[in-house]
Amino acid sequence: MEPPYLDLIRQSYDAVAADYARTVNDPSGLDPLSRAVLGAFAELVTSADLGPTADVGCGPGKVTAYLTGLGVSAFGIDLSPRMVGLARAAHPELRFEVGSMTALETGDGELGGILAFYSTHHLPAESLPGVFAGFHRTLAPGGHLLIVTRVGDDGHRRLAHGYGGPAVPFDSYRLPADRIAGLLEQAGFVITGRTLQEPGEGAKRPVAGFLAHKPDAVAPQG
């Protein structure tokens, strides 16, 4: 059974998909730190060359296309069919799928990278261990993960509007950065870098970035 919060996310983003695609900046227009983090991630996954990169919560595909422009073999996954439709129309040369990061259909170890760019904050805290375990399962040993998300003091905020579209709810769960880091480590990831953008430094609210990788398989002893 699908958790009820996923259907709410789907309905809300379906409702604002066109407005979102029109109002949200292309990644080339992001602040320097955000572009630098995306660039570092792109360099890591292209250098490792372990498989394609999944952009989970890809929306209309702008970040997926940006990664591709940096040399990444990337495809997008989004819960909203309308977002995926817009992504396919805007970038017909790229692959986009309807799906959920809570139940990735990718096989074990098939991915060289996973990007979750402003998408995990919509998920309640209790769902994150399972989501991060899914990321770990689908990444190849040595594969890289980048999460960029809003952070806070365990607050839950519900907005009644978003992106200039109709009145639909948007839930945001803002966990402390250290708690997110701990959950990633519990899932088996090694964190290699963290960023924190305070409001006014390219972000309206505190935003944290986590670069991590899945350790290489350890050879059996003896």
| Tens digits of residue pLDDT in 189-218 | 999 999 999 887 556 789 999 999 999 975
What percent of the chain is predicted at pLDDT more than 70? 96
48-77 confidence digits (pLDDT tens): 999 999 999 999 999 999 999 999 999 999
CA-nearest of 160, 142, 148 to 213 is: 142
Residue 150, token pair as written in the block: 């809003």
Region 4-213: CATH code = 3.40.50.150
pLDDT score recorded for residue 201: 59
Please name the residues in contact with 3: beta carbons below 8 A apart, sequence gap of 6 or more.
102, 127
CA distance 131 to 210: 15
CA distance 79 to 9: 8
Domain map (residue ranges) of the chain: 4-213
107-134 confidence digits (pLDDT tens): 999 999 999 999 999 999 999 999 999 9
pLDDT score recorded for residue 85: 98
**Mean of the pLDDT values across residues 2-8?**
91
CA-nearest of 132, 141, 144 to 42 is: 144
pLDDT score recorded for residue 198: 87
pLDDT score recorded for residue 78: 98
Residue 221 has pLDDT above 70, yes or no: no
Residue 220 has pLDDT above 50, yes or no: no
